[in-house]
Structures are given as structure tokens and as C-alpha cells.
Amino acid sequence: MKKIYITFLLGISLATYAQENTASLNSNETEIAGFKLYPNPATADVVYLTTQQNDIKEVRVFDVFGELVLTDRISSKALDISRLSPGIYMVQVVENNKSINRKLVVK
């Protein structure tokens, strides 16, 4: 089971890395401009999501198995992740009909 889990995590890491490189080379009109997710890896109970417009954001957090573990609608920059266990997550953010996916590591 550990071998499968490690292989799965490695696959997500490589896929995420490839998506980030492709997105930076091609100007994608559906991605959120100026998006930042920090600190990453997260060691506290809060991470910050900033964009150029900083409007209301719909946030969904998925675990490595693809299960939705957290949803929130934030108007500030802070996202409370205190309910998340240490691990690797995928964060999906939607703002003004544009979306972006990023990996988040919680320590």
C-alpha cells in the first residue's frame, strides 16, 4: 500500500509541475491573474490566497484520493486550514468565473 501511495503522490507532483510550466508558457485566459498561495508548505492554521483583483473566492480542497475535504467562500485573503491533517492537497480556487488549481503541502 505504501508503494502505491508514494507512486500516486509522485504522479500528482509531476502532473502539477507540468501544468504549472505549461500555464506559464501559454497565456490562459481562464486562469486567475496574479494568483499566490502562501506559505507553502503550510506550518500554521492559515494560508493566504491573493490575486490581482482580490474578489470573493470559492475554495475547494481535495486530498490525494480526490475526496473533497474542505470548502469555503472567502472575501479576505486568509483561508483557515486548521481542520486539515498533515499531507498533500489540491486547492481549487474560483474567482470571477476563472479558476486555478495548485498543490498545497500541510506540515
- DSSP per position, 47-89: EEEE-SS---EEEEEE-TTS-EEEEEEESSSEEE-TTPPSEEE
- pLDDT of 39 > 50? The answer is yes
102 contacts 90 by C-beta, under 8 angstroms: yes
Enclosing H/E stretch for 37: strand 36-38
Residue 31 belongs to domain with CATH number? 2.60.40.3080
Q: What's the average model confidence in pLDDT over 11-33?
A: 55
Per-residue pLDDT of 52-61, as tens digits, reads 999 999 999 9
Q: What's the average model confidence in pLDDT over 21-36?
A: 66
The C-alpha cell of 57 is what?
473566492
pTM over 0.75: no
Please name which of 56, 66, 45 lies closest in space to residue 93, comparing C-alpha atoms: 56
What pLDDT, on the 0 to 100 scale, is given for residue 30? 79
Q: Which residues constitute the domain of residue 26?
A: 2-106
Q: Which residue has the higher pLDDT, 17 or 4?
A: 4
Strand partners, 36: 50
Compute the C-alpha angle 42/89/103, nearest 5°.
75
Domain count, the chain: 1
- pLDDT of 88 > 90? The answer is yes
Q: How confident is the model at residue 24 (pLDDT cuts 50, 70, 90)?
A: very low
- pLDDT of 20 > 50? The answer is no
